[in-house]
Structure 1
Amino acid sequence: MWGKLQERQAVLKTEIINRDKVKRKHQTLTEHLEVALHKKQTYWSRLKKEQKDVENLDGFSILQVFRTWTGKQDEIREKELSELATIEAKYREIEKTVTDLEQDIVDIERELDQSRWKSIDMEWETLMKEKEGWIYGNKQLEAARLDELYDQKTFLTSSSREITEAISAGHEAKIALRRALKSLDGAKDYSTWDTFLGGGLIATSLKHSKLDESENAIHAAQRSLQKFQTELLDIQQINAENLSVERDGFVTFADYIFDDIFSAWSTHSKINNSIDHINETISSLEHTTVQLEEQLKGDQEMLYNIGIEIAKIIEQ
């Protein structure tokens, strides 16, 4: 009888944990969307300003004539165009991020609206009353120990699942980062042709095409890192005392990359800076994944020992 009550509790507890996880994810996504919308508005304002600055350079003025004579006009124009390219890339990235987050929120709200979760809190209260009635008339010490063991088992099972999902998300993010790295390597090659071999229209066009391709690859990597960060947040909420991982740097990954690529996109030195940053992110990702794998191994060993102790109590 007690064993069946505990099994029902484990099933219900797992469902409650799953529901609460989805609720937390909904809250996190909503907060991320709020931040992204604010950044989108900020980047839009800056984009309009940079576009106006470039347009002003094309207008006639005595100062511009003087700058042309002194050779300063081209230098100023290159600086303004670089700033415009940087903010335009960031704006396109945040636009994609907003779209992704809005779709994620729609999906998560659909998941929250499941019929099996509507009565789960009432089922839990009913079960607790049944258990209380059983304990008063039976072996209280054994029941209390089983209670403790089943709670530990439920906690560790949930923790192991969250860690496994985070490890999987980490592997996906690593693949996306390597794709971005490969794409940037291609852009760097074309940038080398453009800079050192005279360039020309074809080389410049190919370089910009590769940078556009890199932009898409970077967005995919940013989305994967965002998912990984969300999974890490779940783990730290469940297992805060036993697991400490760095995750804040994953969220702002794309901003750093676009600062480097487009701040001086006529040279390949800035692309090298972006490549270095991606390699650093991959190293951080691998370090975090190793921590997760160590934690998962420890959880699984504890689950095995708990299973043995539960069996002994039930079979005695």
Structure 2
Amino acid sequence: MWERLQQRQSVLKQEINKRDKVKRKQQTLEEHLEIALHKKQEYWTRLKEEQKDVENLDGFSILKMVRTWTGKQDEIREKELAELAAVEAKYREIEKTVIDLELDIEANERELDQASWDSIDIEWDKLIKEKEQWIFDNNQEQASRLDKLYEKKTFLATGIREITEAITAGNEAKIALNRSLKSLEGAKDYSTWDTFLGGGLIATSLKHSKLDESEDAIHAAQRSLQKFHTELLDIQQIKADNLSVERDSFVTFADYVFDDIFSAWSTHSKINNSIDRMYQTLQDLANIFDLLQKQLKLDQDNLHKVEIEITQIIEH
């Protein structure tokens, strides 16, 4: 009887943990959407300001003439255009992010509507009352020990599931990062031709085409990193003792990359800077993977020990 109650409790608790995870995810998504909407408005304002700055450069002024004579006008215009390009890229990125978050929130709301979760809290309360009654009627010493072991088993099983899901999300982010890296490497190749080998109009056009292609790849990487970040928050939520990771920079990955790419479209070294940031992010992923794998192994070993203890109590 007690074994049946404990098994039922373990199943229910894991299901409650799944439900609570979806609730936490909903809260996180809504917080991220609020931040994204604020950033979208901020970038829109900055975009209009940068556009105005570029337009002002086209107007006639004595200062413009002086700058032209001293060779400064082209340099200033290039700087203004680069700043405009960076803000525009960030605005397009945050637009896509807002759409993604709204879709994720809708999907998460549908998951929360599972019929099996409607009565799960009632089932839990009923089970706890049954256990209390059994302990009162039987007063067995091993009941308390078994209770703690099953609680530990549920905690470890939940941790293993969360870490496994984080590793899966991290692998997806790694794949997306490598794709964006490959795309940006292509833009760098054309930039080498254009900047150092005098590639001309065709090379410049191909380079910018590759940068446009890279923009989509970078967004896909940003989306994957956002999901990985959410999974890491879930692991921290269950307080894994030997795991401590905080990578909020994953959330702002695209901002940093776009800053470097568009700080000067024609400057070869700036694309290199963005590539370096991608390699650093891949290294960050690798470091966190190492922590995750160690924690996963520890949890799996501890779960095995707990299961052996439970078996010994039940069979003796």
Return the TM-score normalized by structure 2. 0.98
Residue 14, structure 1, aligned to residue 3, structure 2:
no
* SS of residue matched to 2:262: helix
Question: 1:149: which partner in 2?
Answer: 149
Query: Aligned to 1:263, what secondary structure does the other structure show?
Result: coil
**Structure 2 residues not aligned, in runs of 5+:** none
Amino acid at match of 1:93: E
Change in 2 beyond 3 A, CA 1:281/1:184: same
1:33 and 1:171 mapped to 2: Cα distance? Answer: 24
Offset of residue 240 of structure 1: 4.3
The letter of the residue matching 1:201 is L
Indicate the residue corresponding to 1:203 in structure 2: 203
Matching of residue 299 in structure 1 with residue 299 in structure 2: yes
Q: Which residue of 1 aligns with 2:248?
A: 248
CA apart distance, 1:242: 2.7
**In 2, Cα distance between the equivalents of 1:35 and 1:115?**
32
Query: Contact 1:194 / 1:203 at 8 angstroms: preserved in 2?
Result: yes
Query: CA RMSD, aligned part only?
Result: 1.0
Aligned partner of 1:192 in structure 2 is: 192
Q: In the alignment, what sits opposite 1:275?
A: 275
Could you say which residue in structure 2 is the equivalent of 1:258?
258
Quote the residue 2:230 is aligned against.
Answer: 230
Residue 81 of structure 1 is matched in structure 2 by 81
1:66 is aligned to 66
In the other structure, the counterpart of 2:33 is 33
Preserved CA contact (<8 Å) 2:159 2:240? no
The one-letter code matched in structure 1 to 2:295 is Q
2:177 corresponding residue in structure 1:
177
Is the CA contact (8 Å cut-off) linking 2:50 and 2:83 kept in structure 1? yes
Q: Which residue of 2 aligns with 1:3?
A: 3
- Deviation string for 1:169-188 (max 9, x for gaps)? 11111111111111111100
Secondary structure class of the residue paired with 1:190: helix
1:90 corresponding residue in structure 2: 90
Q: How many Å separate the matches in 1 of 2:123 and 2:73?
A: 74
- The answer as to whether partners of 1:243 and 1:295 remain within 8 angstroms in 2 is yes
Paired position in structure 1 for 2:53: 53
Runs of 4+ deviating beyond 4 Å: none
Give how far 1:70 is off. 2.3
The C-alpha deviation readout for 1:174-212, integer Å capped at 9, x for no partner, is: 111111111111100100111112232111100000001
**1:18-67 Cα shifts (integer Å, max 9, x gaps):** 01000000000100010010000000000011111111111222322222
Provide the residue aligned with 2:123 in structure 1.
123
* Kept after mapping to 2: 8 A contact 1:97/1:223: yes
Q: Structure 1 length normalisation: TM-score?
A: 0.98
What residue is the counterpart of 1:239 in the other structure?
239
Question: Structure 1 unaligned runs (5+)?
Answer: none
